Amino acid sequence: MRSILIVEDDKALLKIMNQRLRTAGYETRSAETLSEACNLLSTNQFVLALIDIGLPDGDGFELARIIDSQYAFPFVFLTAMSSPEYRLEGYELGAADYIPKPFHFKELLLRIERIIGAQKQLLPLEVDGVHLNPNTYELTPKDGEVIRLTEREFSLLYHLIDSSPRIISRQEVLSSLWNNQEKTPARGVDNVILKLRQIGDGIISSRILAVRGIGYQWL
């Protein structure tokens, strides 16, 4: 059973989300606080987390950092905090999506299916000694240590390698790969590329070429 973690302090909304997701065939676990969510993470396995940013004992960004550093599954922010600054921070943390409240449940279900479905379609990929594991978002260089990536870092790197030598435009990443062209500024792609270039003592940096005015290419 596909299990989703819901972190939301609005009791009424939390109840509805549990009902709708279970009707759609998902198993759910829910938390109203950051501490409750952390406890659930330590005792359950999830395919996705839906996270509100404003929590009584912390914020969803903190929870996202925990998921990113210790667990290997995507997360989505569901929040009333919809300013460009909050959106950018959410995506820079590796969010698979950022959905402002109020939202339509049918749209939410479609986005969930897209995110989970995309993970299922990816197969392990290896090129020139660089191994990518889509099940854990891990990169393993030849004769190197395993490196954990965020969902966005992994999806972009995987797409660059898998599409090589084709040049990948920022617009393609936003609209096709991340499916949120209107919500993420183009510099969000550049920020993820910058982080990738800092990984693995330059093994990634030396292979990503910036093509002026177009996008990026894996060499």
State pLDDT tens for residues 105-162: 999 998 898 888 766 566 788 887 788 888 778 888 877 788 888 878 888 888 888 8
Q: Could you report the per-residue pLDDT of 194-204, keeping only the tens digit for each?
A: 888 887 667 77
* Domains and their CATH numbers in the chain: 3-120 (3.40.50.2300), 124-218 (1.10.10.10)
Residue 10: per-residue pLDDT: 93
What does the pLDDT look like over 49-93, one tens digit per residue? 999 999 999 899 999 999 987 876 889 999 888 888 898 899 888
Residue 5's Cβ-side half-sphere holds a number of Cα atoms within 13 Å equal to 31
Selection from 13, 173, 175 nearest residue 79 by Cα: 13
Q: Tell me the pLDDT of the chain averaged across its residues.
A: 85
Q: How far is residue 66's CA from residue 62's CA, in Å, rounded to a whole number? A: 7
What angle do the packed helices 187-197 and 84-92 form, to 10 degrees? 30
For the record, the structure tokens of 179 come out as: 């499916």
pLDDT at 9 over 50: yes
